Chain A
Amino acid sequence: MTKSTKKITGADVKGFILDNAVIIMMVAVAVVVGILHPNFISAYNFKNLISNTAVRFIIALGVSGCLITKGTDLSAGRQVGFAACIAATLLQRSDYAQKVFTKLPELPIAAVVVGLIIVFSLIGLINGLIIALLNVPPFIATLGMQTVIYGFCLVFTGAQPIGGLRTDYTNICSGSLFGITWIPYLGVIALFVGILMWVMYNKTPHGKSIYAIGGNENSAEVSGINVRKVKIMVYMTASALYALAGFLLGGKAGGTSASLGQGYELIAIAGCTIGGVSSNGGIGKVGGILVGVLVFELLKIAMQFMGVTTAYTYVVQGLVIVIAVAFDIRKYVAKK
């Protein structure tokens, strides 16, 4: 066995670049756009970036458990949208003309959040039961759920947009801590959720079991892990996080409609994968997921600043997904 020496070699530098390709790319983008458009680096823009990232990050954290256990959750986006619609209808101003539930009293916000989380955990429970007990492949099970949720959401909203949200609700989602613009509440909440999930993944038997199931489900079972239970919990946790994200998103946008959240599962999956979550299961870190999501949002905002049209933004985002993952995979293949 050879001891690693302290001297930095060319191979080390190359290794460092490979290992941190995504972060390096991110910094490069920020610097270049910052030079070309100095107001890119402003408190307001920062807030914008952080708020956008925050919500996406929470959704991605939800999906991450599914991905690490070799599953997926295609119903994420629709669940987020549905949660946003429910939150919005429950938190409309009493003087708003088109209030959905006219007789509804002013509900405490905390109660709405907790209620949403509980109800959506049940949706997650159904996903989990279908996957873990009926052995329906996650791709199919959650594809079905996606459609079902969308249907319910259309019924619930009557396909009408929902506006007139209470200011105490919208303040949470667009205000900032101590009034400092670049520390939006959303960022603080996402950070808190991120820490919770990090602790769950790294410090608890449940977290280790998630990695183990993704690593080898048979081995996990033989090692005494209750595979079904863990999987069900993963999908429940995911839905609970979607509920929170939906709540935040509704207030941030100031109004919702049934179309909100469409395609968010793909952004979340992309964020996770860019951040190093393996689609073969067993691998994924919270920090990586944050970087993955951040890169995606940064790129989007940077391109808006550069005046790139939405159409091209899509093209670039698509390329970034593939290139980032190709880089990431090289890390594992490089040692041949």
Chain B
Amino acid sequence: MSEYLLEMTDISKSFPGVKALDNACLRLRPGTVHALMGENGAGKSTLMKCLFGVYTRDSGTILYEGEPLNVHNTHDALVRGIAMVQQELQPIPDRSIAENIYCGKYPVKKYLGMKFVDHKKMNEDTQALLDRLNMPFDAKQKLGTLSASQMQLVEIAKAVSNNAKVVIMDEPTSSLSLKEVDTLFDIIRTLRDQGCGIIYISHKMQEILEISDEVTIMRDGQYIGTWPASELSTDDIITKMVGRELTDLYPPKISSPGEVAFEVTDYTSIDPKSFKDVSFSVREGEILGVGGLVGAQRTELMEAIFGLRSHTTGEIKLHGKTIKIASPTDAISNGIALLTEDRRGSGIFGVLSVEDNISVASLRDYLKFRAFLDEKALAELTEENIGKLSIKTPSTKTQIQNLSGGNQQKVIVSRWLAKDPDILIMDEPTRGIDVGAKYEIYCIIRDLAREGKSIIMVSSEMGELIGVADRIMVMCDGRVSGFVSGDDMNQEKIMELAVSFM
């Protein structure tokens, strides 16, 4: 037998208008963590979906344990011992955790020759699995009662439950807290020590260098190369991914904030477990970062400010004038925009075109004869944004669901850039976006600030907050635990505030 558990050679796959994979390769050794890296739209998810049986490859060979592998659906793949945590989760919120984990492979018991689901075994096995993986959930709990990051953990438990030999993880940490990432890494190390091969996709460099043994890099659907992780630095990876050197990760901060533009006072949620007495303000031309651990209620606060959630007390002032925001429509008509955290739930319109997705919030700004859409202007707007953020799409009419995850995110960022609001709230704006494109987005945010716009950027990535924000508000447990600016903007200080009420 060869030294590889899995060998994917010269895999090609085309979609209408795109060659997503062009002779891509990947060789996975047993008992290793193999990072798969590349820009948004490089073909990472597609390659993995070809392996997992979601897509059928056009050409190329896959050897698994030395034998050719041809799976036609995900069930085949699972049976053969290949499991995948997909980039876009597919939860069934109204069913229990156990049922989600055992979906499609329910344990059965027989009565009178008929098969029935063995709920007891299913729940017990699930509980044992959750306990073993250090996940503090009850197997019978409805999945929908968990937060996004907890659901992500359950998805990981689901992959592990298959006793697979190859576990694929496509951006598993995109919504995990630091502690949850540790849990995940423990799980990965255990799997590795048992001899599994893990394929790990992420845009977070530190994670890659920390967890992986080998790194394969792809660009435009092609195989660039494979290296031991110990021989690579962040800069090497970036250069190989982007195909050129990237000197800066963040644009320079040159800002001279003006008057206070936006002021929130004593905002308190209806839900006693959520945010309390939050007050802050943002100046014109300022980028306010909002830091804290996952679960600090930052998203809830922003959604309440935007009129998506209810609050009990609190006041919002825009340029010194008190305004009332009861719905997103109110917020937007006051020039406030929110880029939501949940891309699939409240971001994209999957079946609509890239153009419609970019222009949807600005339609009324592009009217002819006050009633009809100015299609030419909308098309130009779309082209301009596709260029500005280098969105990879076959055409402006392509359905957004056919774009790679990172490119979908860029489209939604464009939507709000196109709307050109005075107050732009962005919740995890660069989730799933590659390093190169991140830099582009930071530059655009900075340009907006220079034009006098106020930006509020919620982020769980400390580096991003420190690199981009002029000032950082840190939240802990629903309350503001402090502000940092200038020389105080460092990892230790922020961390200290982020856990100060715990």
Query: Which residues in A have some Cβ–Cβ distance to B below 8 Å?
Result: 1-2, 4, 199, 203-205, 208-209, 211-212, 214-216, 218-226, 278, 280-283, 335-336
Interface contact A224-B361, CB-CB below 8 Å: yes
Which residue of chain B has its CB nearest to the CB of A211? B352
A-B contact pairs, 16 of them (CB 8 A): A2-B17, A4-B17, A203-B373, A205-B364, A208-B360, A212-B352, A214-B351, A216-B348, A219-B346, A222-B308, A222-B340, A222-B346, A223-B361, A223-B415, A280-B351, A282-B350
CA of A211 to CA of B351 in the docked complex: distance in angstroms?
9
A219 touches B372 (CB 8 A): no
- Check: B338 CB closer than 8 A to any chain A CB: yes
Chain A hits for B340, CB < 8 A: 222
Asked if B19 contacts A1 (CB within 8 A), the reply is: yes
Given A209-B363, A223-B361: 12 more A-B contacts, CB < 8 Å: A1-B19, A205-B373, A211-B352, A215-B351, A216-B349, A216-B350, A219-B346, A219-B348, A221-B327, A222-B308, A225-B329, A226-B327
State the Cβ distance, B71 to closest chain A Cβ, in Å. 13
- Least CB separation from B220: chain A residue: A1
Chain A residues, CB < 8 A from B346: 216, 218-219, 221-222
B328: CB under 8 A from chain A? yes
User: Residue B16 at the A interface, CB < 8 A?
Assistant: yes
Among B19, B349, B371, contact of A219 (Cβ-Cβ < 8 Å): B349
Closest A residue to B365 using CB positions = A205
Question: For A1, A220, A222, A281, which residue has the most chain B Cβ atoms within 10 angstroms?
Answer: A222
Q: What chain A residues lie within 8 Å of B349 (beta carbons)?
A: 211-212, 215-216, 219-220, 282
Tell me if B347 is interfacial: C-beta within 8 Å of chain A. Answer: yes
B394 within 8 A of A: yes
Within 8 A of A (CB), among B358-375: 359-361, 363-364, 367, 371-373, 375
Over the window 150-172 of chain B, the binary record of Cβ atoms lying under 8 Å from chain A Cβ atoms (1 yes, 0 no) is 00000000000000000000000
User: Which positions in B face A, CB cutoff 8 Å?
Assistant: 14-19, 54-56, 306, 308, 327-329, 331-333, 338, 340, 345-352, 356, 359-361, 363-364, 367, 371-373, 375, 394, 415
**Given A218-B346, A336-B56: A212 in contact with B356 (beta carbons within 8 A):** yes
| Given contact pairs A216-B349, A336-B55, A336-B56, A204 touches B371 in the complex (Cβ within 8 A) | yes
- Among B19, B54, B328, B360, the one with the most A-chain Cβ atoms within 10 Å of its Cβ is B360
- B351 CB to closest chain A CB, in angstroms? 4
- Given the complex of chains A and B, what is the CA–CA distance between A209 and B352 in angstroms? 11
* Assembly CA distance A211 to B349 (angstroms): 9
Bound CA–CA A1/B15 (angstroms)? 10
Kindly list chain A residues whose C-beta atoms are within 8 Å of the C-beta of B327: 221, 226
Complex interface: chain B residues within 8 A of A221 (CB): 308, 327-328, 346
The residue in chain B whose Cβ has the minimal distance to the Cβ of A214 is B351
**B347–A224 CB distance below 8 A:** no
A224 contact set on B, CB distance < 8 A: 328-329, 331-333, 361
Q: How far is the CA of A4 from the CA of B328 in the complex (A)?
A: 42
Chain A contacts for B328, CB-based, 8 A? 221-224
| B residues in contact with A219, CB < 8 Å | 346-349, 360
Q: Would B367 and A205 count as touching, CB distance under 8 A?
A: yes
Q: A218 — nearest CB in chain B belongs to which residue?
A: B346
B360 and A223 within 8 A (CB): yes
Q: For A205, list chain B residues within 8 Å (CB).
A: 363-364, 367, 373
- For residue A225, which residues in chain B have a CB less than 8 angstroms away from its CB? 329, 360
